Amino acid sequence: MRNNKKIVHGTMQVFISGSILFAMLVMAASCGGGSTATEEIDLEVIENQVLLLDENVQKEIEREPKDSTGKVKVVPRTINEDGTLSVVPAGDWTSGFYPGVLWYMYELTSEEMWKAKAVAYTETLEEQQYNGSNHDVGFRMYCSYGNALRLTGNEDYIPVLIQSAKTLIGRYHESVGCIKSWDFNDSVWQFPVIIDNMMNLELLFWASEQTGDPVYREIAISHALTTMKHHFREDYSSVHVVDYDTITGEVRKRNTHQGYSDESAWARGQAWGLYGYTMTYRFTKDDRFLHQAEGIADFLLANLPEDGVPYWDFDAPVIPDEPRDVSAAAIISSALYELSTYSENGAVYKSEADRILDNIWTHYRSAKGENFGFILDHSVGNKAGNSEVDVPLIYADYYFLEALTRKNNLKK
């Protein structure tokens, strides 16, 4: 269950002083959090897994090139309940992660083979620059085309990303001050905004820097500030969904869609928040966002299990007999590496990122040659909906490789 100690910053009341918290985290880091010895991350093992995944994706596409709705299948997502490999169309919210995995493999190895594969899969998503059906255009396009531009400098990718940003801001509502996340359940929600949406702001910040047009940045900052005001509790835990009135901009309700309860702290949602506010500080250098990221980080570090890999919800009812969510752990580790470069508590955050990443690799990776080639196992997509529970998920692999890349870059 979630720790009831409040860890807050700024002018809010402090229940644990920053110095005491810092000392607690240093002690945990120096002792490895009490976890067992970890194994060194082996890049060759990772390469062999991703090569196997690529082979199995092609086999599945050859076997059945379209999904049940007639859409062409292009990228892996997870393992289905019947044990088959889930390969999804370009419009799936996760479609950008596999190209991103391949781009990180290229960055980690400098092997042209990975670049060629990354280019091929990335370009299957080109039409998604116009897909404004939800907020996930940022996930789809920045994890794929964004990494492609970063690693190749190919300017042909720039207009695709700019159009993607235009598509995303089409979901912004000025009265609310946020980008609308979803269009479904309109009998329940008027204007739902989920904490996940913080991740898509990176595309907007990039677009302002690229074009010189401030509108993308202004919308991103507005969304971040509004979310900071209404999604977060005093202890820096976050609700999943906030629904707004489109006329007044006032909050109609706060609830969950994928967490245990409306009052609980859904693990991946907390990870999205940490990553999102750390990234927002990178682009703005606004201390409000740094303090927010530090608050979320401190909440997580005070409440994570011993090995740093959270249960799917911090308030799930039968912990420790609840599924872990490795995808949340990978996101947290990646975010902590970046936060460590900004914060006065950077040494602690870096040590915790190392510990989480090493424990993921040692205790939660797929066995050699198993799980169709997914790198990691034991993630949770939507436990509340009994969907994708204790399975590999492609975005867990993506953020694991991003965290490993960030770790390596910090060494340099």
Active site residues: 136, 196
- What's the burial of 51, exposed, middle or buried (CB within 10 Å: 0-12/13-18/19+)? middle
CA atoms within 13 A of residue 156's CA, in its CB half-sphere: 6
Euclidean distance between CA atoms 361 and 279, whole angstroms: 25
- What's the burial of 171, exposed, middle or buried (CB within 10 Å: 0-12/13-18/19+)? buried
Q: Is 81 helix (H, G, I), strand (E, B) or coil?
A: coil
- Which residues, other chains included, contact 260 with Cβ-Cβ below 8 Å and sequence gap of 6+? 266, 312, 313, 315, 316, 317, 383, 384
* C-beta separation of 270 from 276 below 8 A: no
DSSP state of 235: T
- What's the burial of 223, exposed, middle or buried (CB within 10 Å: 0-12/13-18/19+)? buried
DSSP state of 17: -
